[in-house]
Amino acid sequence: MSPHVSDRLSEYMDGALGVQDVERVRAHLDTCPACLQEYRGLQDVQQLLRGLPAPHPREGFMERTHWRLAREAAAQPARARFLSGLREAFAVRPFRVALVAGALVVVALPIVWMTGSMGPREVPLDSDAYVRHYVMLSVDRPLADEATSTFVSSDLPEQPIR
């Protein structure tokens, strides 16, 4: 192991090291000009960042944000109605499921053919595979934004931050 403490310096600076490591780093800095110089550089960077002035939003920022939010809020009940309708249709009876699965296959087939990333025998037949396929598609193809947008919004934090 290198005697230098370069990779511990940020943690040392942030007070994120245990007592023993602190002692080791401090002792090393007393004797090693190279590490000391790097440490001072890191301190300078941090001070520079901390000293940056707070940027002010452009005038009307909150107002524009308000209008976008209001538009979103207006769209939400309709979206919720549509989704609950969809859920109901999904929830019951095999023939409805067959209907939806049929629609999925119709939608998914050309995509599978176009991307060529899956053979025709691996046509996704269930909704899980369909979603998985879209995720893979979006990883491969940045232009498929639309396909992922619903997925992204469903992938928001469930765990609140303290």
Partner 1 sequence: MAEAVSSLVLGGMTVSPDAAEPRTAHRLAAFEELVLRHQSQIYRVAYRLAGNHDDAEDLAQEAIIEAFRAFDRYQPGTYFDRWLFRIMSRTYIDTVRRRNRRPTVSLDAPMGPDRDPLVTVMGDSKGDPQQMTEAVDLDGTVQAALDRLPEEFRTAVVLADIEGLPYDEVANVLRCPVGTVRSRLHRARQMLREALGPHLGGRRGSR
Q: Interface residues with partner 1 (CB under 8 A)?
A: 6-7, 9-11, 14, 16, 26, 29, 38-50, 52-58, 61-62, 64-66, 68-70, 72-73, 76-78, 80-82, 84-89, 93, 95-96, 99, 142, 145, 152-153, 155-158, 160-162
**Residue 25 found at the interface with Zn ion (CB under 5 A):** no
Nearest distance, CB of residue 22 and partner 1, angstroms: 11
| 146 token code pair | 């639309």
Of 5, 38, 46, 47, the residue nearest 22 (C-alpha)? 5
CB contact at 8 A, 104 and 97? no
58 binds, among partner 1, Zn ion, none (CB under 5 to 8 A by kind): partner 1
35 binds, among Zn ion, partner 1, none (CB under 5 to 8 A by kind): Zn ion
Greatest Cα pair distance in the chain: 78
Q: What kind and span of H or E run contains 62?
A: helix 61-91
Phi, psi angle pair for 156, to nearest 5°: -85, 165
**Residue 32 found at the interface with Zn ion (CB under 5 A):** yes
User: Which residues are near Zn ion by CB under 5 A?
Assistant: 4, 32, 35
